[in-house]
Amino acid sequence: MSSFAPAAKRPKRGKASADSEAFPDIKRIEYKPDAKPDDLLCFKHYNAKEEIYGKTMEEWLRFSVCYWHTFRGTGADPFGYPTLIRPWEDGDDSMEIAKARIRAAFEFFSKLGIKYWTFHDRDIAPEGETLEETNRNLDEISDLALELQKKHDVKLLWGTANLFANPRYMNGAGTNPDPHVLAYAGAQVKKMLEITKKLGGVNFVFWGGREGYQTILNTDVKRELDHMAALFKMAVDYKKKIGFTGQLLIEPKPKEPTKHQYDYDAQTVIGFLKTYNLDGDFKLNIEPNHTTLAGHGYEHDVIVASKLGFLGSVDSNTGSPDLGWDTDQFPMDVKGATLVMKAILEQDGLTPGGLNFDCKVRRESTDLEDMFVSHIGAMDTFARGLRNAVRILTEGLLPTAVKERYSGFDTGIGKKVEDGKATLEELEQYVIEHGEPAVLSGRQERYETLLNRYV
């Protein structure tokens, strides 16, 4: 997405030309389990082809690089100009630079051994004066992307339409009070469904960037939700019409940029999908950074979405709950990754979804090498999470303890309740016969200690 810095303050183009290697000093990253702690340009835990729990690590983890942060991030923040000076950029949003950039990106993916990528329409090609010109730009750059995907054996995890950056969307896209703006959003979704299909994308994401409100005083909540659902229904119809078979995903987020966003968290989105009979056509893309912004624990939405049958994909990043805004950091916490991987293993994988690194290096991390080290660190974090979760499930102590905790519902009155066959009169009779229930410990510290034995 574009930066707000004046052109004069933008980084100037460096030495690299479109044809030269973008990362000449970096070789393909290898698995070196015995590497010394200061050898950071290798994997210590991620061994792509290693079989574990019935699949290769690569199949379980399905890592993906996001284009918007890693190749469009400038390091600009509300208080400062860009800091990330990439050799293939010249500060302009031209087609020439768009091509040099995407070549650099595919070199990056293949040096890391990452098999998937994700992008918004506006990340890869500049907007033109008209929708037609913009779409022609997108056609041209996506032709090149298709070529590069084949050359480097990289696939598209998901595409998405950027319905939030352009000023036309300042009052929302599908929820905009002006149908002309909603029409523009629909035109963009139509084109991006076509491009995602052309690139063999296996998912399509909707993040409702400005689908919410800044003040409820000027907002008709019911009409806005109806309109957003109508746009989703049109997307489902068009997906079927063009034969796009990818999974549609909605990404929850509670706030930022709007004060309130309708897709607040996993349970809210599932309620919305059921209200509008869209639950058969959509799953969720969960970003743990958004989960913590909603006031939940890191793994909460992944687990809730999974257990309710809606977990489609994960934007594997982290926030800084002590800051409280959307920092999109690289996930480096092994315990969080372990709990996320446990949920993913319990649903037998994420396919066609994956673990997309919707993460940006800090604006102070200005070396090209930081782009690699950040992804390597995050991949190793999730590889450790996978290995830990496999041990938890194989040894079975934690799952058995939880099962035992609910075992009262396996028989008798508990089973009747679960089967939906009990009545309030029967519950009353049960208490008359059995008196006061025993006090049963929740044993939280025991569970926490047990988890620590695996992390």
Catalytic residues: 120
Give the CA distances from residue 252 to residues 137, 209, 232, 293, 432, in Å, rounded to whole numbers and listed in that order: 30, 10, 15, 11, 46
* Binding-site string for ligand XLS from residue 117 to residue 156, where x marks contact by CB under 6 A and - marks none: ---x------------------------------------
Q: Tell how strand 260-261 and strand 212-213 pair up.
A: antiparallel
- Quick one: which of 135, 41, 80 has its CA closest to 369? 41
Which of the residues 224 through 283 are near ligand XLS (CB under 6 A)? 251, 253
Q: Is the backbone peptide bond immediately before 352 cis, with ω within 30 degrees of 0?
A: yes
Indicate the residue among 197 and 253 with the shorter CB distance to ligand XLS: 253
Q: Tell how strand 355-357 and strand 311-315 pair up.
A: parallel
* Residue selected from 160, 175, 316, 374 as contacting ligand XLS according to rule CB under 6 A: 160
Which residues does residue 286 pair with via DSSP β-bridges, in sequence order? 314
Q: What is the DSSP string of 148-197?
A: HHHHHT-EEEEEE---SSSGGGTT-STT-SSHHHHHHHHHHHHHHHHHHH
For the record, the structure tokens of 349 come out as: 């994988």
* Residue selected from 207, 262, 264, 372 as contacting ligand XLS according to rule CB under 6 A: 207
* Residue selected from 123, 287, 299, 301 as contacting Ca ion according to rule CB under 5 A: 287
Beta carbons of 1 and 122 less than 8 angstroms apart: yes
Indicate the residue among 89 and 287 with the shorter CB distance to ligand XLS: 287
For residue 98, count CB atoms less than 10 angstroms from its CB and return exposed for 0-12, middle for 13-18, buried for 19 or more.
buried
Q: How many CB atoms lie within 10 A of CB 425?
A: 8
* Residue selected from 87, 358, 375, 378 as contacting Ca ion according to rule CB under 5 A: 358
Smallest gap from Cβ 23 to ligand XLS, in A, equals 24
Indicate the residue among 120 and 387 with the shorter CB distance to ligand XLS: 120
Beta carbons of 190 and 231 less than 8 angstroms apart: no
Indicate the residue among 194 and 251 with the shorter CB distance to ligand XLS: 251
Total interface residues for ligand XLS by CB under 6 A? 10
* Residue selected from 211, 224, 315, 380 as contacting Ca ion according to rule CB under 5 A: 315
Q: Following CA atoms 266, 271, 277, 282 in sequence, which dihedral angle do they give, to the nearest 10 degrees?
A: 0
123 scored as a contact of Ca ion (CB under 5 A): no
For the record, the structure tokens of 308 come out as: 């309710």
Q: Which residue is nearest to ligand XLS, using beta carbons? A: 207
Indicate the residue among 121 and 194 with the shorter CB distance to ligand XLS: 121
Residue 283, contacted partner among Ca ion, ligand XLS, none, CB below 5-8 A by kind: none
196 scored as a contact of ligand XLS (CB under 6 A): no
Residue 380, contacted partner among Ca ion, ligand XLS, none, CB below 5-8 A by kind: none
Q: List, in order, residues 6 or more apart from 70 with CB less than 8 Å away.
A: 105, 108, 357, 359, 360, 371, 375
Residue 194, contacted partner among ligand XLS, Ca ion, none, CB below 5-8 A by kind: none
Indicate the residue among 69 and 239 with the shorter CB distance to Ca ion: 69
Smallest gap from Cβ 36 to ligand XLS, in A, equals 35
Smallest gap from Cβ 251 to ligand XLS, in A, equals 5
Q: Is the backbone peptide bond immediately before 288 cis, with ω within 30 degrees of 0?
A: no
Which of the residues 286 through 345 are near ligand XLS (CB under 6 A)? 287, 315, 326
Q: How many CB atoms lie within 10 A of CB 103?
A: 20
368-395 helix and 334-346 helix, angle to the nearest 10 degrees? 60
Interaction site with ligand XLS (CB under 6 A): 120, 160, 205, 207, 251, 253, 287, 315, 326, 358
Interaction site with Ca ion (CB under 5 A): 287, 289, 315, 326, 328, 358
